[in-house]
A and B are shown apart, each in its own frame.
Chain A
């Protein structure tokens, strides 16, 4: 699965790791994150992420 990078702060969402602090288990593809998921580093929405 593909990694996505936040263009406001550089945080990388890695599906293999997930975002456990915010209830996202490993194995969730970026596309399948909930609409209201935001960058855990800086707070911007999914629309500011780009595939790396």
Chain B
């Protein structure tokens, strides 16, 4: 059997690795758009921060691919999928036949339609080439603005700061981490970030990136302007859907898959950041990892259902401990939220309950209990008796 994988990010790579672990016989070939072997994207942040040298970014060595007999074609993106003849087309019109195709093309940075976003000095951060360009530009352009106060935006701001830049974050929402935090948590986080010397502006809409060929600053709605000679747009990612759409696969916000991670075309599976399962597009590492493992089993005929992944995010900014798990900021009724605050110590904790069962939590300002609360949310534990005690620094989660 010949398995062709499109994409050498986390999903494509872990699926290939798992396939080889489970099956010694199949031919496995990965077609990659980038010219680099697989690297975990969080390493790009540490690379920009100066904490991780280039050689250490990669998860495996080139030799490893050979030893695993995983064919890796770098800088060789699939141009077309031909589902009827079970082939993909690459550069020069060359066709590659497959028995099974795994679509793991991932996602790419979303850039909102801001005037001037195409100027020199405006970047996104998704690939190693992006990171290399940012580091190069930063050398003589140290005034940086990050557009977006989500996880990637804040971690990028921290990395730029570590490399010596003067950093400002501009967020459209009136709070930081709108997906992971509530307004109370966001306010505490903002003051902690400020202590690091990173300026934060909330509720600002960037109307134009000003300058001639090069960025010179930003103009916000209302007319205020700030100087900047480097900007990183961190406005989230969108699944890369062109290949799937052109091949006639069902797509919505992502490539649609069933519980076995099959698309609607026979022999074509999909996994990773580009996938939409049960109405959800995850775009987070643990989900891509779970899907990669499960899709490998299904490809080899071991029917395994993907049951979704509980989102859990940890912000890695020096001196700030922040973990957000599950429905941390629920919308709609029927939820009970219990809070514990010690703002002077930067501590803010919250649990979200539905019928006394844990469905989400925010744990901020401390790392004590992070593992315990994460597990408790994942297992949807009933905490009716422990609604207050659970916030104690020394709470014993094995009581649950």
Contacts and interface: CB of A to CB of B under 8 A. Distances in A.
Contacts of B286: 7, 48, 50
B52 A8 contact: no
Interface residues of B, number: 24
A15 B380 CA distance: 27
B323 to A, nearest CB: 8
A27 interface: no
A36 B43 CA distance: 14
Contacts of B17: 10
Q: Is the interface of A mostly helix, strand, loop or mixed?
A: loop
B367 A35 contact: yes
B354 interface: no
Contacts of B367: 35
A26 interface: no
Nearest to B314: A47
Nearest to B40: A8
Q: Is the interface of B mostly helix, strand, loop or mixed?
A: helix
A31 B43 contact: no
B86 to A, nearest CB: 29
A24 to B, nearest CB: 17
B98 interface: no
Interface stretch (B56-64, B162-170, B260-268): B56-64
Given A43-B56, A45-B316, A7 B289 contact: yes
A44 B375 contact: no
A10 B371 CA distance: 19
A35 B320 CA distance: 12
A9 interface: yes
Given A10-B18, A44-B42, A47-B316, 17 more contacts: A7-B286, A8-B59, A35-B367, A41-B60, A42-B58, A42-B59, A43-B52, A43-B56, A43-B57, A44-B43, A45-B42, A45-B316, A47-B314, A48-B40, A48-B42, A48-B286, A51-B375
9 contacts: A7-B289, A8-B289, A42-B39, A42-B40, A43-B40, A43-B57, A43-B59, A45-B42, A51-B375
Interface of B: 10, 14, 17-18, 39-40, 42-43, 46, 52, 56-60, 285-286, 289, 314, 316, 323, 367, 371, 375
Per CB-CB distance, the 6 closest pairs between chain A and chain B, nearest first, are A42-B59, A47-B314, A8-B40, A7-B289, A9-B59, A7-B286
